[in-house]
Amino acid sequence: MLLNSSGNETLQSETVGSANDIFRELAQHLRNDAEIGPAVAKAHKVQQSELRFLDMAEALAGFIRHNFRLKPTRFHDFVFGSGQLTPDELAGGLIFYGKGRCGICHNGPYFSDFDFHAIPFPQAGFGKNGFGVDYGRYNVTLDVDDLYKFRTPPLFNVTKTAPYSHSGSLYYLSEAIKVHVDPLGDPRAIPADARQRADFYEVLKKWSHAPMAGVELSDGDIKQLIAFLGALEFESDEAVRELN
């Protein structure tokens, strides 16, 4: 938005002063905008010339709250209403909460404990720490205990959001699930590069204390888990009802 502002180079430096200038400049854009400006002014019941940066921030927050709200799923209809699941979905759910131990981390209203864990997903690309390595949460906390840990992702619509993991390294849900319980199952998972292999070993060490290490899942179990995850897709927009 600021590309066309005169002096935008000074605005790109990270100082408190430049942050204030950016807020001021963006608010000015909004006051002059012919399309968004009137809509935001109307929503806040003020003149467009009185709009402040905060009004834009609140409009964006409202947009995010609306678009990212939880919507009903067939799982929700099954648990709280009279909806039905197929036998495979039901069997997958029992594995999810039972022997698969998925619910230990993927739990709560978002199917995430919002905590950090080391799952031996392969790393795609250069990685935040270079040469195929990403130290994960450690990069933020600098606590060695957090090395290679990533936040548990929510699982709504996960059937539609390939590729998987923090670096998008796996394309299939079956692979993403398998890596949780059998990270060495696919020999291609073992990195050829010595440094990456040493890092992979560290991830495995952390993972070996995780609740699902040692869990055995057959191909049939994984198919049923995928069927269950399909029941976590948000129902179509026409069918959206507010959850409370």
List contacts with ligand HEC (CB under 6 A): 100-102, 104-106, 117, 119, 121, 150, 152-153, 158, 161, 164-166, 173, 176-177, 180, 210-212, 225
Which residue number, 48 or 73, has a Cβ lying nearer to ligand HEC?
73
Q: In the structure encoding, which two tokens stand for residue 238, read together?
A: 């026409």
Task: Say if residue 97 is exposed, middle or buried (CB neighbours under 10 Å; 0-12, 13-18, 19+).
Answer: middle
Minimum CB distance to ligand HEC, residue 166 (Å): 3
Minimum CB distance to ligand HEC, residue 104 (Å): 5
Query: CA 4, CA 113: separation in Å to the nearest integer?
Result: 42
Minimum CB distance to ligand HEC, residue 60 (Å): 24
Which residue number, 37 or 153, has a Cβ lying nearer to ligand HEC?
153
Query: CA 159, CA 111: separation in Å to the nearest integer?
Result: 14
Minimum CB distance to ligand HEC, residue 2 (Å): 32
**Phi/psi-derived region of residue 213, left when phi > 0, alpha when psi is between -120 and 50, beta in every other case:** beta
Using alpha carbons, select from 61, 31, 30, 59 the residue that is nearest to residue 44: 59
Which one-letter amino acid corresponds to residue 77?
D
Which residue number, 48 or 152, has a Cβ lying nearer to ligand HEC?
152
Which residue number, 30 or 118, has a Cβ lying nearer to ligand HEC?
118
